[in-house]
Amino acid sequence: MRHHVITATLALAIGASAPLVVHAQSAAEQLQEYRTMLADGNPAELYEMEGEELWVKAMGPKNASLEQCDLGLGAGVVQGAAAQLPRYFADTDKVQDLESRLMTCMETLQGIAQADVIKGSFGRGVRQPMEAVVAYIVGQSKGMPIQVPASHPKEKEMVALGEKIFFLQGGPMDFSCASCHAVDGQRIRMQDLPNLTEKEGAAAGWGNWPAYRVSSGTFWTMQRRLNDCYRQQRMPFPIFGSDVTVALSIYMANKADGGEMNTPGLKR
Amino acid sequence: MKNQMMNRSVVLGSVLLGLSFGVSAQAVDPAVMAIMESSFRTQGIADKSRIYPDEIQALCSDKAVFNSPEGQKKAIALQTAALEAIKPPSDGVYLGDWQAGDKVAKSGRGATWSDQAGAANGGGCYNCHQVTKAEISYGTIGPSLLGYGKLRGNSKEIVEYTWNRINNSKAYNACSNMPRMAHFKLLTEQQMKDVMALLLDPASPVNQ
C-alpha cells in the first residue's frame, strides 16, 4: 500500500509539465526531495525489521540461526560489517561480498546448500529471507564510512580484475559497465548515471545500494542491481554470487573507500 | 592448452555473433575471460557466447591498447572494414516514414534475456539522444539530434553518412558508444529507413 502511494506521487512529480531544461533538473531535484522526506520512513525498514528477526531465528536443515556468522569483524558482529565488504575471508580463501558470504554462513551454520541459493530467483524461496537479512545487515552500517582499502593481495587481485571487467565490452550492443558509468553528469532518459570510476560517483552508487526501489516496490540487493545492469547490457545471465559480481563489487567499493554508507537506500 | 581452448571459444563466440574481420585477434587477459566463463550462463535469447568480445569490442575494452600506435592502426583497419560491409538500402530508397521512425526511436526494447526471440526491437535512440522537442525524457550520452536534417540538409553525402552511422556507427569511430544496428541485426532495413526519415524528412518533428 505504502509503495503505491510513493509511486503515484513520484509519477506526478516526473510527469508534471514544465519548461524543458527546468523540468529535466527538477525531476532529479524532486526525487531528492522525496528521499529527504522519506529518510525517516524508507520502506526498506520493513525488510530490515524482518531481517533482524530472521538473523536470530533457527532455520534450515540444521535448525540453526545465523548469529554465529562471521561477516569479517568476528562471529556475530553485524554493526559496521557491511561497510567493510567485500573482503578476503581466510576460511573460504576467497574475496566475498555480503551475499556470497551469507551463502557460506547459511551452508555451514544452517545446512542450506549454496547451489539451492544460486539456482533460486530474487525475492523468492530461500532468497526471500536472505534479502531481508541483507537489509538488516546493511542498515547496521548506515552513516559509517566505507572501508574497503583492498590491502590483502587477493583483494587487490579482485579489484584489478573488476576494473578490467568494468571496461569489458560484449553482447550485441557492445556495452560494458563503462558505456554508462565512466563519465560525469550523463543520463539514460531521465535517469542520472553515477561515474563509478571516481570516488564521488562510486560512493553515490555503492553507498546507496542495496535499496528500496520505488518503481518496483521491492527491496533490491546489490546482486540484484548488478544482475539487472547485465540484463540491460544485453549480456547473458550473471550467476548469483559469481566471481564477476564480487570483482565488480570490490572494484566499486574500493573506489568508494572513505565515502558514506547510506544503506539501505531509496531509489527511483 | 587452456589458452587454446579459450582462443577457440573466442573464435566461436565471434562466429556466433556473426563477425569476421581480417585483422589479427586482440588478446583479452585470460584471467578475465576465465572468470567471465565461470560467472555467466545462457538465459533466454541471451546466449553465453555474448561474453566473448569481437575485434572491436576487445580493442575498445582497453584504453591503453587503443591509444597505442598499434591500437590506432587497428582502429582504422576495423573502421574501414566496417564501412565496406555496410549495404545501401536494397531498393535504393533511404527515407521511410518518420512517424514509424519515432516509434522505433522511442522503444528501448530488444536483445535482453527478458525479450522474446523474433519480437521487434527498438532503436533506443532517446535513451542517449535528444531527438524531438516534445519528448523531454531523453539521455545525454550521445549528441542532441534536434534539427538534424534542418542543419545538415539532405545531400547525397549527408544521406549516405546518416545511413552508415545508423547501420554501423563504428565505421567512423571504432569505439563509438552507439550500437551497430545493422551489423548485429538489431533493426530491420525498414526500421532504419524510418529512423532516417525521422532525422532527415523536413516534415519530421526533429526538423521543426
Q: Which of B85, B107, B131 is the last residue of a domain?
A: B85
| Averaged pLDDT, A228-252 | 98
Same domain, B145 and B73: no
In a shared domain, residues B114 and B191? yes
Domain containing B116 equals 98-207
**pLDDT greater than 60 at residue A2:** no
What is the spatial distance between Cα A135 and Cα A43, in angstroms, rounded to a whole number?
11
Q: Is residue B38 part of a domain?
A: yes
Confirm whether B121 is domain-assigned: yes
Tens digit of each residue's pLDDT (9 = 90 or more) over A200-236: 999 999 999 999 998 889 999 999 999 999 999 999 9
Cβ atoms of B187 and B181 within 8 Å: the answer is yes
pLDDT of residue A69: 98
**C-beta atoms of B32 and A171 within 8 A:** no
Return the pLDDT at B64: 94
pLDDT at A29: 73
Give the model confidence (pLDDT) of A109-160 as tens digits. 999 999 999 999 999 999 999 999 999 999 999 999 999 999 999 999 999 9
Distance from CA of A239 to the nearest CA of B (A): 5
pLDDT tens figures, A26-81: 566 766 777 676 666 789 999 999 999 999 999 999 999 999 999 999 999 999 99
Name the active-site residue from A69, A177, A180, A229: A229
* One domain, residues B117 and B157: yes
Residue B91 lies in a domain: no
Distance in Å, alpha carbon of A256 to nearest chain B alpha carbon: 22
Q: Are residues B190 and B129 part of one domain? A: yes
Paired with A212 in beta bridges are A219, A266
Any CB–CB contact under 8 A between A234 and chain B?
A: yes
Q: How many domains does chain B have?
A: 2
Specify the amino acid at residue B25: A
Contact (CB, 8 A) for A34 and A9: yes
Residue B12 lies in a domain: yes
User: Of A1 and A71, which is predicted with more confidence?
Assistant: A71
Q: Which of the residues B177, B183, B185 would you substitute to probe the A interface, choosing the one with the greatest number of A C-beta atoms within 10 Å?
A: B177
- Cα separation, A63 vs A3, whole angstroms: 34
Which residues are within 8 A (CB) of A59 and not within 5 positions of it... i.e. 6 or more apart?
A: A65, A110, A112, A129
Looking at the structure, tell me whether residues B144 and B173 fall in a common domain.
yes
Say whether pLDDT at A97 is over 70. Answer: yes
- Contacts made by residues B56-60, CB under 8 angstroms, sequence distance 24+: B56/A169, B56/A174, B56/B21, B56/B82, B56/B170, B56/B174, B56/B175, B57/A168, B57/A169, B57/A170, B57/A174, B58/A169, B58/B25, B58/B26, B58/B27, B58/B28, B59/B26, B59/B174, B59/B175, B60/A169, B60/A174, B60/B174, B60/B175
Q: For position B23, what pLDDT does the model report?
A: 40
Tell me what ipTM this predicted complex has: 0.89
CA distance A177 to B196: 29
CATH number at residue B180: 1.10.760.10
Write down the pLDDT at residue A38.
66
- Give the chain B residue whose CA is nearest to the CA of A244: B39
Neighbours of A74 (CB within 10 A): 8
Which residue is associated with the grid cell 583479452?
B28
* pLDDT band per the 50, 70, 90 thresholds, residue A268: confident
Chunked mean pLDDT (size 10), chain B, 208 residues: 42 42 63 98 98 97 96 98 98 98 97 95 98 96 98 97 98 98 96 98 98
Cα end-to-end span (Å), chain A: 17
Q: Does the structure show a pLDDT above 60 at A18?
A: no
Give the end of a domain, one of B85, B116, B136. Answer: B85
Q: pLDDT at position A214, please? A: 87
Q: Nearest by CB to B47, from A168, A188, A236: name it.
A: A236
Residue B196 is assigned to a structural domain of this protein: yes
Answer yes or no: do B142 and B194 share one domain: yes
Instruction: Let me know whether B78 and B102 are in one domain.
Output: no
Within-domain flag for B68: yes
Number of Cβ atoms within 10 Å of the Cβ of B56: 27
A188, B139 Cβ separation under 8 angstroms: yes
CB B177, CB B142: distance < 8 Å: yes
Helix (H) or strand (E) holding A47: helix A44-55
CA distance A150 to B14: 35
- The conformation of residue A77, written as its DSSP 8-state character, comes to -
Do the beta carbons of residue B105 and residue B166 sit within 8 Å? no
Q: What's the rounded Cα separation, in Å, for the pair A159 and A162?
A: 5
Domain co-membership, B64 together with B162: no
Domain end point (choices B85, B116, B141): B85
Is B179 in Cβ contact with A244 (below 8 Å)?
no
Same domain, B127 and B70: no
* Separation of alpha carbons B195 and B190, rounded Å: 9
At residue A102, the pLDDT reads 98
Cell numbers that stand for A61 in this block: 536443515
Does A186 sit within 8 Å of B140, measured CB to CB? yes
One domain, residues B137 and B51: no
Would you call A229 a catalytic residue per the annotation?
yes
Based on the fold, state whether residues B81 and B111 are members of the same structural domain.
Answer: no
Taking a C-beta distance cutoff of 8 angstroms, is the pair B194, B98 a contact? Answer: yes
Q: In B, which residues are within 8 Å of A238 by CB distance?
A: 39-40
- DSSP secondary structure letter of residue A26: H
Give how far B48 is from chain A: nearest CA, Å: 5
- What pLDDT score was predicted for residue A39? 62
DSSP annotation of B130 reads -
SS3 for A95? strand
* Structural domain includes residue B17: yes
Examine the domain organization and report whether B201 and B102 are in the same domain: yes
Q: Is residue B93 part of a domain?
A: no
Residues 6+ apart with CB under 8 A from A196: A166, A177, A181, A182, A202, A205, A206, A252, A255
Average pLDDT along chain A: 90
